[in-house]
Structure 1
């Protein structure tokens, strides 16, 4: 690695850390930069996965208080995410590198599109999943009657019949029960994990979209769950690639601390930096790189 390459990687890692703390999309900066230093696509991908892993730890740490008491809620989706990540890592390591090289421009452009549309996606999902106002039901004289689906031994009015399951929070946590489409969530998280280990760009918004579509909870909890699941996928990829992949460790040594430093500064300056401006910069960069690789 030349001093020029090291400086380029350090700058890209720092900027990626800032972007991840404010708006996301850091991998859309670091992965093309690794390619620019001369690494083959698969080597650049696995090196990027290992190099940005420390930043996900910081993301979970930021939501630690909101996640307290929700270990059981996270257990099943975490298992699905880990299984998906194992499958994605195996695919990347075993399939011919020519396949990844052929599709990587489309992966970059697709991830850039998802990243650019993240505010619109989030607003749309918020609107679709917003709880509807309850319609008051008059109680007849003599007390309440059983609602639809109630049977002997059921609490009055708790039969929903909508295919969802209530997932209680951990005992003693004092949290309300969370309602979610269990099977749909596991399938979505599995596919997100598979994609995230194969190519991590845009993984965060994909996981968040799955969670918002399949369960009812406040956005802070969903963001925290997204961070934990993202860390799980990244950890599997980092372990698999670190042991079996062609990781360029010298690049990791430059990239990882730069990402950490940028993330720390980005978190401190998040109120001053404009996410929209960073989103535009990352989007333009991703489109240019994707189109250039396609040509």
Structure 2
């Protein structure tokens, strides 16, 4: 593949990923496969893809800062610490995974992330909140669940936001806006630290990463405007089709 063709492919994939993330999520279904098809080794592609989509987490977190300010400081410190530890642990786990093993896991991880995306709306309705003044029966499992999800997010970013939102709703978080705020904050924390771990280990392809960050940011800006015009059901359908298609391609590639 010619260098200019590769750059165009990566920029287009990142721009489309930014649009998808702004409207319905699922941008990693485009950035990661594009890097692999451009010849980037799978582990480096995964790390580079995580960096490429990371700017969106900062914008989302800032958008929910009012909700975060209403939460107790002790809870925020506990949750961000768990997200940080899990993100670094997941990144280290990826770095010690043999390339051959990770390549075999990729189609299954993509299928898992696609299934999460399909089930996302249903999961978001599960759990609800406990009656006023009562503790939700699953609330005590939230810290352990957050740590596990953060490890997954550091290892493979696909479906991270859906997993976090599902965790909060099924463990009794009563307010969807607050669940979204915590999801965005913890996604930002674990992504920044996992990407820093990848960078220190030399596992990021910086040229493609910088190009894709710019393109993804532009896509996110465009997607924020298009979100009000495009039917979300159509976009979700396109994301699911992309996830299934990319999984199939990776299965065929072996």
Paired residues of 2:123 and 2:169 also in contact (CA < 8 A): no
**Aligned counterparts of 2:113 and 2:77: Cα–Cα separation in 1:** 27
Matches within 5 A, 1:202-241: 202-241=159-198
Where do residues 114-129 of structure 1 align in structure 2 (5 Å cutoff)?
114-123=116-125, 125=126, 128-129=127-128
Q: Contact between 2:61 and 2:184, CA under 8 Å: does it hold in 1?
A: yes
What is the rounded CA distance, in whole Å, between the counterparts of 1:61 and 1:261 in structure 2? 18
With the length of structure 2 as denominator, give the TM-score of the two structures: 0.92
Q: How does 1:1-295 map to 2 (within 5 A)?
A: 2-70=3-71, 71-123=73-125, 125=126, 128-131=127-130, 164=135, 183-295=140-252
Q: Compute the RMSD of aligned alpha carbons.
A: 1.8
Following the alignment from structure 2 to structure 1, what is the Cα–Cα distance between the partners of residues 3 and 140? Answer: 50
Relative to structure 1, the CA distance from residue 131 to residue 97 in structure 2 (aligned partners, 3 Å threshold; closer, same or farther) is same
Query: How far apart, in 2, do the equivalents of 1:77 and 1:261 lie?
Result: 30
**CA distance in structure 2 between the aligned counterparts of 1:211 and 1:82, rounded to whole angstroms:** 17
Q: CA deviation at 1:87?
A: 1.2
Structure with higher helix content: 2
For 1:223 and 1:79, the matched residues in 2 are separated by 18
Contact 1:84-1:194 within 8 A present in 2 as well: yes
Unaligned runs of 5+ in 1: 135-157, 165-178
Unaligned runs of 5+ in 2: none
Instruction: Look at both structures and tell me which one has the larger radius of gyration over its CA atoms.
Output: 1
State the 4+ residue runs in structure 1 displaced beyond 4 angstroms.
179-182
Secondary structure in 2 matching 1:215? coil
Per-residue CA shift, 1:258-283, capped at 9, x if unaligned?
11111112122321122211111111
